[in-house]
Structure formats: structure tokens, C-alpha cells
Structure 1
Amino acid sequence: MPFRRYVALGDSFTEGVGDPDPALPNGVRGWADRAATVLLDTGDSGDTGGTGGTGGTGGTGQVGYANLAIRGRKLDAVLAEQLDPALALRPDLVSIYAGGNDILRPRVDVDTLVARYAEGLQRLAATGARLVVFTAHDRGRVAGFGALRSRFALYNELLREVADDLDATVVDFWRLHEYRDLRLWSEDRIHMSPAGHQRMAAAFLDALGVAHRLPAPSLAAASQPTPRERRAETLAWTRTHAVPWLRRGLTGRSSGDGLRPRYPEYVTALA
């Protein structure tokens, strides 16, 4: 196992929203937990050979996992709140996805957004840790998101350039076409379902070259709604999810208000 200290940063994507588990911090599991379970189980009791001294993992051979992500956070908040704590943990593996909540806002300068993101990524890469970033998914085929497709495409291309410059590993969510299956998404159409998180955990480990035996997601039988049923679903989604999200944005509130990071220090085992 080449990695001993894994830190995950970001927003709801990395916190695990859409993959509920009431027994876990903030009531969610998520792809990062699922991937970390593989990393933790793969670790042995030998000498790490690394710098150690952090979160109780140094020199013991144990693999440590921290997750600082909080739902609803925009890019500047992720960098301001999570970057320094992540650096203090001295990771040798760090993943981050940020900026998606900014792109969903009515106005955004994507070039400026990614330029700020690049500054944070440079600080992470300078530690020598393996850096993993994610492109955004292509949600343009989903009702309610078509107008934002070009924004996400530009974000992705700019991010790929930054990743190339930093020799970062890219999990190219945009090109994971199986996510066109709505069964990999929760009913809010924004967050992955448990099956989607399971698939993302495998994609993350595959990108790192870490062997795993994560099973393929278990999917219910696909439904074929009629046009009338699709319209009714979109109307229900608008009332239940889109309107409350817009209301929070207009009032300056966030779904992550009052929440703390799920694992602010290294843990060496997960439930």
C-alpha cells in the first residue's frame, strides 16, 4: 500500500450526501468512506517508511483517513476552511472536488474560479502528496441542468490543464458515461445515490491503481416513465428540491450550516 495518510476535501460530493447512513457522522457514508475502507483494510502493521507523527498513524504502519468536506461549500470556503487543516495533517494522498456549487449559481466567471482553484491545488501538490481531482459530471441531459452544460464543460477543460501542469491524477467524471443512468443519482438529481457512490469509489481506486474487490453497484430494475410521468417527476423535483435550494441561495444560507467535518483527524477504522 503506497498511501498511509489520506485526506479528502470538498463539498457534498466528498462528504457523501446521497448515501445515507444514520450511524455515521453527519448521517452519510459516501464514496470517500467506501474507498478509504479499502485503503484501511489493505494497510499492514509494518513500518511506513514515511514522515509519520500525524494523527496517530506515523511509524505504526496503520493507514489513516480524514474527511474535511462539508456540503454546500463553495470554492472559496473549501479553500479557506479545509486547506490549512489538510496541510497540517501531512497527507501522502489527498483528493479534492470543489467549484460545483459556484457553477450552479446564477452568475460565475469560470476562468477566475479555476484560477483560484489552481492556487489551492498548487499548495497541495507542493507537499509531494499524490493529488486527485475530479471533473464535473455531464448533467446537461437532465431536466433543469441543460443551460449549465457549457459552464461545466469549460470548468472541466480548464481543470484538466491545471491537473496536467501539477501532474495530478484526474478522475474524469464527465467521461463516466454509466452515470447517465438515473439510478446512480438520488432523487434531488444533484447528488449520487448509494449505487453512484459505490461506482465512484471504484473509479477513484482504479485511478490510483489500487487493487480492490468492490462489487458493482446493485441497481433496481430500470423504469420507463411516460412523458406525462416525467413531467410530473420534474414538477415534484422543482417543488421539493429546486425551490428550497434557490431559497437558501437567496437568503445566504447553506445546507452545510452548523455541520462539522466528519473526520477532522485521522481514523484508522470505519464502521
Structure 2
Amino acid sequence: MAEFTRYVAMGDSFTEGVGDPDPQRPGGLRGWSDLVAEQLASRTPEFRYANLAIRGRLLDAIVDEQLGPALDMAPDLVTIYAGGNDMMRPKFDVDRLVGRYDDAVAQLTATGATVLVWTAYDAGWSPVFGKLRGRNAVYNELVREVADRHGATLVDFWRFDEYDDHRMWDWDRLHMSSLGHRNMAARVLGVLGVEHALEPVSLGTLAPQPKSEARRENLVWAREFLLPWISRRVRGTSSGDGVTAKRPVLAPVG
């Protein structure tokens, strides 16, 4: 069973932990990567962890801002999830995007570290994000090629059917909920072949939602998430403006 001592997490809000609030933690967030780090730390006293992820970051910014610091830390485990924010932009050059991703993954795997990459989630059921299904599928095939080419380990989010349940998602329908983050942490540890103590997520049967309640939730979502999100796109701003990495250097967990 693999033992890791230096874990660096790279990416955007997915890895920062948005959707899993915890005011006692750096940045006020927990998230799947913190949970993974805690389980790994419980096995290895000298374990150290850094999380460079910042919400809203496009893939170019993730590579430009996070790759160098990650390499300098000489990790033996790296997770990198990038491209999700790019795919929601009107203009999207998937070949150029994945070309940069390919170069970053090549540099990371060349160090001998175990490198985990993700496919995008299949949100085909979503009236809004489902419209991106085609470009997500193309991106996923290219990411699979990147993983194969460089010996990276793939976390195939596209095939995680349990995320078809809305309880796995936060109120904004874009970020995972606390349950979703815990489930992702268990999935990652499973991919790594690491035994863990995380309780499995058990959702039970989902009760039918009255149409009136669904309409009310849709209106609240449109007002409080969708319209501000569109406004940021128009203004060229990001939810990550002014946000810094919550764990910028390798340090003990806790």
C-alpha cells in the first residue's frame, strides 16, 4: 500500500473546498482534499500538506500560479483539477486548453510523484449545466489521453452516478455539498488504494419535491447565484479575486 509524505493539491473551487464550510479551518473551508490529507496523515507522522487551489481560476492561471510552487515543494502526491471554469466560458479552445494541461501533468509526473487528474462531471440532467455536456465529453477524452500518456492516475468523475442526486451538491448547484466532498474524498482514497476511516455517504430514498417548492428554489437560485455569476462574466471579474491559497506551504495537518 502506498505511503505519502508530501501532498500538494492544485486547482480551483473544487479542490479549495467550496460547498463544505468550516470556520475553524484556513479559508473557512474543508473539502475533499483536506479529508484526504487527514486520512493520509493518520498513517504517516511526518506527513505534510499544501493546498494551492483558488476558486474561479481558469486553467491558464492554475498552471501559471500553482505549477511552479508545487514543483518546488517536491511532493510525492499531487492532485490537479482544472478546466471546469474554462468550459463554462462562451469561447473555449479545448485543444489549446488541454495542451497546457498536458504540459503541466508531464512536468509533475516527471518528478516521480503520483499525480491524480479528473474528468469533468456528467451534468446532463441539469437544465443549465447540461448544455455543456458535449464539450465536457470531448474534454474528458483528451484528459484520459493525457493521463495515459504520462502515467497519471485518473479519477473518473464522469462515471460517478451517485452525484446525480441533488443532495450531493451545494445550494448553487455548481459546487459539491459537504456530503459530496466526503464522498469524493472516499473515492480518491479508493483510487489511491488507501484504507480509510471515512463513513460512507448514505442518502436513502429521495422524497418527491412539490412543484411549488421546486419553482421557489429555482427562483432563489436564479436570483442569488445565476444572475451574479452572469454579471461577473460580463464585468470580467471572478469569485476568486482577492482570495489567496488557504494552505500555501507544506505543513502538518491540523
Is the structural similarity TM-score above 0.5?
yes
Residue 226 of structure 1, aligned match among 194, 198, 210: 210
1:67 corresponding residue in structure 2: 51
1:34 corresponding residue in structure 2: 35
2:165 corresponding residue in structure 1: 181
1:246 corresponding residue in structure 2: 230
**Cα distance, 1:218 vs structure 2:** 5.5
Deviations 1:114-141 (A, max 9, x none): 1111111111111110010011111120
Equivalents in 2 of 1:144, 1:158: separation in Å? 23
- Give the aligned residue type for 1:91: P
Further displaced range: 19-28 or 30-39: 19-28
Check whether the contact 2:105–2:152 (CA below 8 A) recurs between aligned residues: no
1:52 corresponding residue in structure 2: none
TM-score of the two chains, using structure 1 as the length reference: 0.90
**Cα distance, 1:221 vs structure 2:** 6.5
Q: Please tell me whether residue 148 in structure 1 is matched to residue 149 in structure 2.
A: no
Give the secondary-structure state (helix, strand or coil) at the position aligned to 1:121: helix
1:171 corresponding residue in structure 2: 155
1:10 corresponding residue in structure 2: 11
1:209 corresponding residue in structure 2: 193
- Give the aligned residue type for 2:37: A
Give the secondary-structure state (helix, strand or coil) at the position aligned to 1:248: helix
How many residue pairs match? The answer is 253
1:259 corresponding residue in structure 2: 243
Equivalents in 2 of 1:138, 1:131: separation in Å? 22
Equivalents in 2 of 1:3, 1:135: separation in Å? 23
Check whether the contact 1:143–1:234 (CA below 8 A) recurs between aligned residues: no
Equivalents in 2 of 1:160, 1:226: separation in Å? 40
1:54 corresponding residue in structure 2: none
Residue 96 of structure 2, aligned match among 83, 88, 112: 112
Give the secondary-structure state (helix, strand or coil) at the position aligned to 1:164: helix
Check whether the contact 1:135–1:172 (CA below 8 A) recurs between aligned residues: yes
Structure 2 gap ranges (5+): none
Q: Please tell me whether residue 94 in structure 1 is matched to residue 78 in structure 2.
A: yes
- Give the aligned residue type for 1:20: P
1:23 corresponding residue in structure 2: 24
Structure 1 gap ranges (5+): 45-61
**Cα distance, 1:202 vs structure 2:** 0.5
- Give the aligned residue type for 1:8: A
Check whether the contact 2:51–2:246 (CA below 8 A) recurs between aligned residues: yes
- Give the aligned residue type for 2:229: W
**Cα distance, 1:24 vs structure 2:** 1.1
1:126 corresponding residue in structure 2: 110
Equivalents in 2 of 1:161, 1:193: separation in Å? 30
TM-score of the two chains, using structure 2 as the length reference: 0.96
Output the aligned Cα RMSD: 1.4
Equivalents in 2 of 1:255, 1:218: separation in Å? 31
Equivalents in 2 of 1:99, 1:269: separation in Å? 28
- Note closer, same or farther for the CA distance 1:41–1:193 as it changes in structure 2 (3 Å cut): same
Further displaced range: 77-86 or 103-112: 103-112
**Cα distance, 1:21 vs structure 2:** 0.5
Equivalents in 2 of 1:170, 1:103: separation in Å? 19
Equivalents in 1 of 2:63, 2:188: separation in Å? 22
Equivalents in 1 of 2:235, 2:201: separation in Å? 37
Equivalents in 2 of 1:168, 1:23: separation in Å? 33
1:49 corresponding residue in structure 2: none
**Cα distance, 1:228 vs structure 2:** 4.2
Give the secondary-structure state (helix, strand or coil) at the position aligned to 2:42: helix
